[in-house]
Amino acid sequence: MKIPQATEFEQIKEQVSKKIISDYGKARFANEKPAATIHSAQKRVTETTEAMALLAAGRQVPFMGLQHVLHHTEKIEKGFVLEPQELIEYGDFLRSFRIIRQLFEKNQSIAPRLHQYAQGLEDFSEIAEMIFQKIRNGQVDSNASRELRKIRGTIEKYEADLKKVFAKFFKESRYLQENRVIKKNDRYTLPVRAEFQQQFNGTIIERSNKRATVFIEPEAAARLNDRLILAQAEETAAQYQVLSELTGAIAEQMNAVFACLDILVVLDIIFARGKYCREINGQAITMTEEEVLLFDQVRHPLLGRDAVPLSLKLGEENRCMVITGPNAGGKTVVLKTVGLVCAMAHYGLFPAHNGKSTVPFLKSLWMDIGDQQSLENSLSTFSGHMSNIAQIMKNATRHSIVLLDEIGSGTEPNEGAALAIAIMESIYRSGALMIATTHYGEIKQFAVDHQDFETAAMAFDAKTLTPKYRLLTNAVGDSNAFWIAEKMAIPVDVVQTAKEYLKHKTYSFEKQLFEKGKKQPPQQEAKKDLIFQKGDLVFSTEHNQRGLFYEYLEQGQAKISIEKQFFVVAARRLQLLTKREVLYPAGYDLDQLFVEFAQRKFTRDIERGSKKAQKQLRKAAQERQTNRPVD
């Protein structure tokens, strides 16, 4: 099954991936496909359920050393020798096998399937102990081999002899920049002031950037330095021998180690799924071969606490559903929630719900949502939708779910509605479950009349003109166009005429004669002047924004304020939203709505005789006088 991009499931996968510890696990989960069979889908559901149960009981799986183990394993397979810190991480990884196996043995009653996985983990504690005995504090321990212990003893002797040699030079510290030995090019030197370099018998190893200091290897220290460098080379070879031995011990068991790695990565992914589901308050969801979709107060996982629970049923009594209601009412969210939750279930992921939700095992999931316009292929929005729907109609079968948003839109309404009904009939005959959204009355009526279709509507608060984002089944929703028009101050007679047109299609085609030069009756103009008052909340169709009415001007113009800026518009372009009596208490100073705080303060300061304000006023007058153009 291919997951449509419109489900936004990739966002869920990213959130789960952040909880996966190993790089190997992240890469594997990124390429993981939806369950191909009902058995594998149900197995994933069981795995996640058991992981959540263990986490709820406070059981944490000790995935030690797992984070970079794939990188280290690949390095071993290519013949490289691991560094001390890499061996420590690998030792932790190998040691964890026995600990994890014991954990699942103690909790097999809670997680029987995961216990079966853990049974495949072998015991590599012998190799792990060998690593921890020979690697200590991030380096090869001196007791890792007899040869290494002997060489490091020699190195300590040479370093002690060098300290005695250099100690003699510290007595004549006036020649030195500082009393300490500095290593340059693997040789121990003294930082000698440049003007005294002739006072020292030795070799200049390096000079400082400013030439003020020369780093000299005293002649008395040269032979000891040579011996020390040779001993350090022998030390490196001896350390490499130990690291090579430990890496080889792992390599000899690589097939068995890799099999255990595969088991741990599977557990890593399963527990990441469990952690994610617990984080969003998810609960196990039932998956069956029955073609039934049942949502029991399901919350969209990407909307968090703001998500309105969704309840619906499809497949038992009706195979198809048509959802109606106003724009921005949540119809598209319903489709996305259905698509996303079905996709999650095929990956063993659960949303938050009341516990009785069921999803069908799907062979395919199809969605047509959003703007399908394509400039590259010269497709209009409608053409894009038709291209997508053509593919859906070609491939939808039993055990498919088809989700269609605003079906038939983007073209002439009558043709669009007829085409949408024909498309829905075709998809219905394919045996797929289907949910579609629409505004078209013909499609609503088709769903009402069809025996296997169910209608649903998005709840809408008529008082506040706001959607409630709640799905109401067995209901037909309105687009609320007439109601909204009335609330936005469209004249009642115009709205009533529109209702009659919708019902009877009795449009007026009579031509009206207009006498030249005939003016509007004065009483009408006077009546119009009384529509708005200072402080009323109005809507300017010219700016497509809300503003505050300020005053009427000549020739039918009006002055309004939008975001503290004044604009002049035709008064007929304004619509009353809320009267000022509703917005402000009695006696409220309406002028402060139109003037910035600083300007109001300055005006009050002038009125009360503030010397500072008067000084600012005189300064502004002088500036205007200075900037006046010369005749």
- The tens digit of pLDDT for each residue in 90-107 reads 999 999 999 999 999 999
Distance set, CA 302 to CA 10, 34, 369, 594, 610 (Å): 11, 19, 17, 41, 58
SS3 state at 521: coil
The structure tokens 């789960």 sit at 16
Give CA–CA dist 230/279, Å, rounded: 59
pLDDT exceeds cutoff 70 at 415: yes
pLDDT in tens, 308-347: 899 999 999 999 999 987 666 688 899 999 999 999 999 9
Asked if pLDDT for residue 157 goes beyond 90, the answer is: yes
Torsion of CA 533, 539, 542, 547, to 10 degrees: 70
Domains and CATH numbers, the chain: 8-140+241-280 (1.10.1420.10), 146-233 (1.10.1420), 286-478 (3.40.50.300), 536-625 (no CATH)
CB atoms within 10 A of CB 336: 23
Q: What pLDDT does residue 486 have?
A: 65
Contact at 8 Å (CB) between 337 and 310? Answer: yes
**Highest mean predicted confidence (pLDDT) among 246-260, 504-518, 528-542:** 246-260
Instruction: Give, to the nearest 10 degrees, the angle between helix 9-17 and helix 23-30.
Output: 170
Rounded mean pLDDT of 246-257?
A: 95
Under the banding of pLDDT at 50, 70 and 90, the label for residue 529 is: very low
Per mean pLDDT, which range of 104-108, 546-550, 604-608 is the poorest?
604-608
For residue 389, pLDDT over 80 is answered with yes
CB atoms within 10 A of CB 507: 8
pLDDT of residue 524: 44
Least confident of 172-176, 416-420, 515-519: 515-519
Residue 554 gets the label, from left (phi > 0), alpha (psi -120 to 50) or beta, of beta
How far, in Å, are 40, 48, 281, 446 from residue 272 at the CA level? Answer: 18, 9, 14, 46
> Who has greater pLDDT, 61 or 614?
61
Q: Do 433 and 400 form a contact (C-beta atoms < 8 A)?
A: yes
- Quick one: which H or E segment has residue 288? strand 286-288
What does pTM read for this prediction? 0.70
Q: Among the listed ranges 192-206, 417-431, 504-518, which one has the minimum average pLDDT value?
A: 504-518
Q: How many residues does the chain have?
A: 631
Our CA dihedral for 338, 339, 343, 348, rounded to 10 degrees, sits at: -10
Average of per-residue pLDDT values in the chain: 85
Tell me what the mean pLDDT of segment 3-27 comes to.
95
User: Is the pLDDT reported for residue 511 higher than 80?
Assistant: no
Mean pLDDT of 146-155: 95
List, in order, residues 6 or more apart from 22 with CB less than 8 Å away: 63, 66, 67, 68, 69, 70, 264, 265, 268
Residue with the larger pLDDT of the pair 611 and 539: 539
Least confident window among 47-51, 133-137, 615-619: 615-619
Q: Which of 40-49, 64-73, 274-283, 344-353 has the lowest mean pLDDT?
A: 64-73
**116 has a pLDDT exceeding 70:** yes
Average pLDDT over residues 224-238: 93
For residues 51 and 278, what is the distance between their CA atoms, to the nearest angstrom?
Answer: 10
Higher pLDDT, 291 or 577: 291
Give the per-residue pLDDT at 197: 83
